Chains A and B, each alone.
Chain A
Amino acid sequence: MSRRLQIRNRLDWFTMMLVAAIAVLGWLNIASATAGSEAVDWLTFDGKGGKQLLWLGVCTLIAFLVLNVEGEFFVRISILSYLSLLVVLAAVLVFGKVIGGARSWFAFGSFSLQPSEFAKSTTALMLAWLLSRGDGKLRDLKTRLQSIAIVGLPAGLVLLQPDAGTVLVFGGFVFALYREGLSGNVLVVAFAALVVAVATILSGAGTVAYPFFGPATGVYVLWAVLAGGGGLVLWFLVQSSLPRERKRLKRIGAVAILGALVFSGAMQFGLEKVLAKHQRERIHVLFGLDVGNPDADYNIRHAKAAIGSGGWSGKGYMNGPMTAYAFVPEQETDFIFCTVGEEWGFLGSTAVILLYLTLLLRLIYLAERQRSNFTRVYGYGVASVLFMHVLINVGMVLGLAPVIGIPLPLFSYGGSSLMGFTVLIFILLRLDAERFSVLR
């Protein structure tokens, strides 16, 4: 059997079908979202539907090319590609073009590229390279710090653009690290941080009339409860525990309370001093707080109306008025899921969610069947990135997460994003196809 044939036989066609299905569904919905009331002319490339079709063709070519590259090549270029992308991310901060308030794009005439879409692949490769060295396990502090640096550097550069959504996506690598041995406490701490963050947002938005001091933000109450209540709970725990455990418990408790206070304080500072008014409003809208600005929740109300009006089976393809007449903002990119909700209804939307879930679980399955640590870590990286995109994008459109601009993977309109995900996924498919022949 020739090597080429071997690769083709071992290629995971199921994943490819899932990817192709999602991309084609995305294209159909983009065509509907951008057609307006005009008849759709499928063959012209003037409209966004036509352009996306062009991108699908380009990406098929890219996928074919990627599948024809030796897996060893990707391992070899991990460091180089990662460092190159860091340079590019730094360069975009200087030479980039501002679109939607973020300096994230390189413009070449009418065509623009978003390098952060490709940084996800290179970061996943770099992380895979690091963790497949030696025994690779995240036991020693050095490897842990190195891992954090690998994710943190591109994330930091993206934060400067600023592109909060992509930063959150980089945060998703925590799942890959967890699989590779990062303590589960990290997830617990992350959850605790989330609770403190929500409490800070909610209490910070309120005003309390304090005795002697007069009215001020309610976050002081939260801090008083954290310090006083936390201290009291700790005291009871210490009293009820064995004497030899007490010292350790005291230390952990003190760190936890102090950490919560510092985190909450930093968040409050960030909310009030760093975020712009409209960004703060988005967060407040999410939590149902009255921001006194009827336009603040315009996007999300219209998104919910588009989805909600779909009912069981939707209004039919090309028949959603919210979509056709531009009631939903960014409806071919970040809010493309609204079109699915309005025109395909509950059944169609659920089908799309299940397609993504199937893809994500399949990626985990692929990652777990590797003998190569590199491919496994990379596989988890791919799954993490995709998951974070779906989580933030669909969460936002459904009004469960704040409005953060981030594309629905393989689905939203846009060449950079589509190419980025194609490269990300097809590198994994090539590596997976070599799972029996390569031992790293």
Chain B
Amino acid sequence: MNLKGRMWVIGGLFAFIAVVFIGRLAQLQLGSPEWTDYAARLTESRETLDAARGLIYDRNGQLLVTNQASYDLLYTPRLAREGMDTAAFAALLGWKREALEAAFAKADAYASYRPSIIVRQLPAAEYARISGELWRFPGVKERTRAVRSNQAGLAAQLIGSFGETSADDLKNDAFYRLGDYKGKSGLELQYERELRGRKGVRYHLVDVRNNYQLPLEGGRRDTLAVAGADLTLTLDRDLQAYAERLMAGKRGSVVAIEPATGEVLALVSAPTYDPDLLIGPKRSAHYDSLLHNPGQPLYNRALRGTYRPGSIFKMVQGLIALDEGAIRTNTRIPCDRNIIGCHGPHSYDNLSEAIVHSCNPYFHEVMKRMVQARRSNNLFEDAALGLGNWTERIKRFGFGTDLGGQLPGVRPGSVPDTTYYNGIYGQRSWAFSTIYSIAIGEGELLTTPLQMANLAATIGNRGWYRTPHAVRDVGGRGKPLGVDSLVTTGVDPELFDPVISAMQQVVEGVGGTGRRARTPGISICGKTGTVQNTNALEHSVFMAFAPMDNPQIALSVYVENAGSGGSWAAPIAAQLIESYLADSLSNPEREARILAARDPFPETP
């Protein structure tokens, strides 16, 4: 037996094993990227740099909403496996031990190697108390988060709330990561893209304990966060604050607009709430209690409440009728109270007087002339054609529209048209006599407080308005394009004279329904309205603009279940106009009376 030959067997085996190893190396290193990816998952960590959210200012540069630091506590189960004294940690937080253990178990079930939030939004003071102790609890780390703080506590519904992203948000926008915050309603939501800025990212190499080590690739892929754009609102902080103060204890709304620009100066829905209630760890509890509050503080009445316009609508009827040629400024119509009732000692008014007296038969006749204008010999067809024309003209005043939709959650109300009546009565089955209640602003007409304020601005401007909006500037780039489109009603400016003088009479005239709005030194033009309610006191409504010849402010005031328009809405409007236009308030008794008034209002004011 030649044993020397066995060296080839042994050497061959050595070589064979070397080939196996090299093959395996090729498989691991040159094959699929599985192991490279796995190593990257282990050693690389992406840190998101949150951008500072844009601040919100009023029209004069006064701060409304700012950011405030709060702290989340994060817990990584894998890092806490050993040495977590649950009892001590629960005591530090002031929690029950079972609650903390349940939170830990939930985090563990989610992902043992990833941090989960166990405590949300500790205020700075609370964080300062416990921060010195946190090192004792492995796996617990803090994260700073900016939350919103509405400094003045104003315009809660308009500015809106800021809260944690929902599952839908995460699905629909790749910008958000679990636990991110965003605007949830109001302008915070509408201008979310501008306010949120751009996140930055930093890539780190991490060690086996997930601590950041060196920047990955020397930081070549890192990007800085870009702060969000600041918003400058059209709101006047002082006017808004005063309006909220006057509306305290009442249900209703105030909308004030600068007629020349369409800028919303104040927008109040009462009752309102402290916006900071919806920020912080107790957000959902507060949200629940607000949601179930009978005054519906979360509901923005100014933009979403719909009311029958009542006698204020008569001015629109008059203006369109003048423009259509159905009447002239001196046309008198007898107050024949057979078809429709009326109030007060008058019998044969012209347009101005009819507006001041709110004469129902007058406007019944006016609208009849517009609708049954003999466009057709068939009565029904004539009514359909007439109403079609009328609806178009009404909509040009902004009724039945969202007024450009620049305000968050704005609703259009409703203006009935031929389709609507065809649906109810059937085609060619109705005429003016069927639908006449809309002539005096009743029936199927529904308008919002915003539309009423806009009407005041339109009349003040003599025939045009700019779409109402609340944002003046985004990040120094000026007004967002298209927020203030010009809309004309098509009514000749000269035709506004009788209406405006009637509005002046409402306030200034002897026995005018809006006499409580009379203010020395300011010529206020206004119109009262009352919205009838079954089984409850009517809503008190007033719309006005001032001064008469170069209007600086137009507004509507609604006070629900408070009585006639002149009783509460008119004096509130006057206080607001005076506070906006004058240096000082002239009527402390009127202010005191308003401030003292509380819902529910007595039957007779």
Q: Which residues of A pack against B, CB within 8 Å?
A: 36-37, 137, 175, 178-181, 184, 301-302, 304-312, 321-322, 324-327, 341-342, 345-346, 349-350, 353-354, 356-357, 360-361, 364, 367-368, 380, 383, 387, 390-391, 394-395, 398-400
Contacts and interface: CB of A to CB of B under 8 A. Distances in A.
Contact of B22 (A175, A305, A350, A387): A350
Interface of B: 1, 3-4, 6-7, 9-11, 13-15, 17-18, 20-22, 24-26, 28-30, 34-36, 38-40, 42-44, 205-208, 213-214
Contacts of A175: 10, 13
Contact of A398 (B25, B34, B36): B25
B30 A361 contact: no
A353 B38 contact: no
Given A309-B35, A321-B43, A322-B39, A394 B21 contact: yes
A179 B10 contact: yes
A400 B208 CA distance: 25
Nearest to B214: A37
B20 A400 contact: yes
B39 A325 contact: no
B38 A305 contact: yes
Contacts of A36: 207
B207 A325 contact: yes
B207 A361 contact: no
Given A325-B207, A349-B25, A357 B18 contact: yes
B24 to A, nearest CB: 5
Contacts, number: 125
A386 to B, nearest CB: 10
B39 A308 contact: yes
Given A179-B6, A326-B207, A398 B21 contact: yes
Given A179-B10, A301-B38, A327-B43, A310 B3 contact: no
Given A37-B214, A325-B206, A360-B14, A311 B21 contact: no
Nearest to A346: B29
Contacts of A341: 25, 28-29
Nearest to B39: A309
Given A308-B28, A309-B40, A398-B28, A353 B35 contact: no
A308 B34 contact: yes
A353 B36 contact: no
A361 B11 contact: yes
A178 B207 contact: no
Nearest to B44: A321
Contacts of B208: 325-327
Nearest to A37: B213
A265 to B, nearest CB: 29
B206 A307 contact: no
A179 B35 CA distance: 41
B7 A346 contact: no
A318 B598 CA distance: 76
Given A302-B42, A325-B43, A354 B18 contact: yes
B3 A179 contact: yes
A115 B39 CA distance: 37
Main secondary structure of the interface of A (DSSP, over half): helix
A368 B10 CA distance: 12
Name which of B22, B28, B35 has the most chain A CB atoms within 10 A of its CB: B28
Given A179-B3, A322-B42, A307 B18 contact: no
A322 B1 CA distance: 52
Contact of A361 (B14, B28, B34, B43): B14
Name which of B20, B39, B205 has the most chain A CB atoms within 10 A of its CB: B39
B22 A353 contact: yes
B64 to A, nearest CB: 47
Nearest to A328: B208
Nearest to B29: A346
Contacts of B3: 137, 179-181
A306 B29 contact: no
A181 B1 contact: yes
A94 to B, nearest CB: 33
A179 B38 contact: no
Nearest to B18: A357
A318 B130 CA distance: 40
Q: 7 nearest interchain CB pairs?
A: A308-B35, A325-B207, A309-B39, A321-B43, A305-B39, A357-B18, A308-B28
Given A308-B39, A325-B208, A400-B24, A345 B29 contact: yes
A360 B55 CA distance: 73
A346 B38 contact: no
A309 B36 contact: yes
A90 to B, nearest CB: 32
A184 to B, nearest CB: 8
B18 A353 contact: yes
Nearest to B211: A325
A390 B208 CA distance: 28
B76 to A, nearest CB: 16
24 contacts: A37-B214, A180-B3, A307-B35, A308-B29, A308-B34, A308-B38, A309-B35, A309-B36, A312-B29, A322-B42, A324-B205, A325-B207, A326-B207, A327-B43, A349-B25, A353-B21, A357-B14, A361-B11, A361-B15, A367-B7, A383-B14, A387-B14, A398-B21, A399-B24
Given A307-B25, A349-B25, A390-B17, 16 more contacts: A179-B3, A181-B3, A301-B38, A305-B42, A321-B44, A322-B42, A324-B213, A325-B206, A327-B42, A353-B22, A361-B15, A368-B4, A383-B10, A387-B17, A395-B21, A398-B28
B595 to A, nearest CB: 67
A343 B374 CA distance: 94
A122 to B, nearest CB: 22
A310 B25 CA distance: 10
A324 to B, nearest CB: 8
Contacts of B9: 178, 184
Contacts of A179: 3, 6-7, 10
B10 A311 contact: no
A184 B10 CA distance: 11
Contacts of B7: 179, 364, 367-368
B299 to A, nearest CB: 51
Contacts of B18: 353-354, 356-357
Contacts of A394: 21
Name which of B14, B38, B213 has the most chain A CB atoms within 10 A of its CB: B14
Contacts of A181: 1, 3
Contacts of A302: 42
B530 to A, nearest CB: 73
A308 B36 contact: yes
B25 A322 contact: no
Contacts of B214: 37
Nearest to A326: B208
A399 B44 CA distance: 24
Name which of A342, A398, A399, A400 has the most chain B CB atoms within 10 A of its CB: A398
B26 A305 contact: no
A304 to B, nearest CB: 5
Contacts of A367: 7
Contact of B25 (A137, A321, A346, A364): A346
A349 B29 contact: yes
Contacts of A308: 28-29, 34-36, 38-39
A355 to B, nearest CB: 10
B1 to A, nearest CB: 7
A178 B44 CA distance: 50
B29 A310 contact: yes
A267 B208 CA distance: 37
A254 B44 CA distance: 59
Name which of B25, B43, B206 has the most chain A CB atoms within 10 A of its CB: B25
A26 B531 CA distance: 93
A305 B21 contact: no
A342 B42 CA distance: 14
A179 B42 CA distance: 47
A309 B25 CA distance: 11
Contacts of A368: 4, 7
B112 to A, nearest CB: 9
Nearest to B3: A181
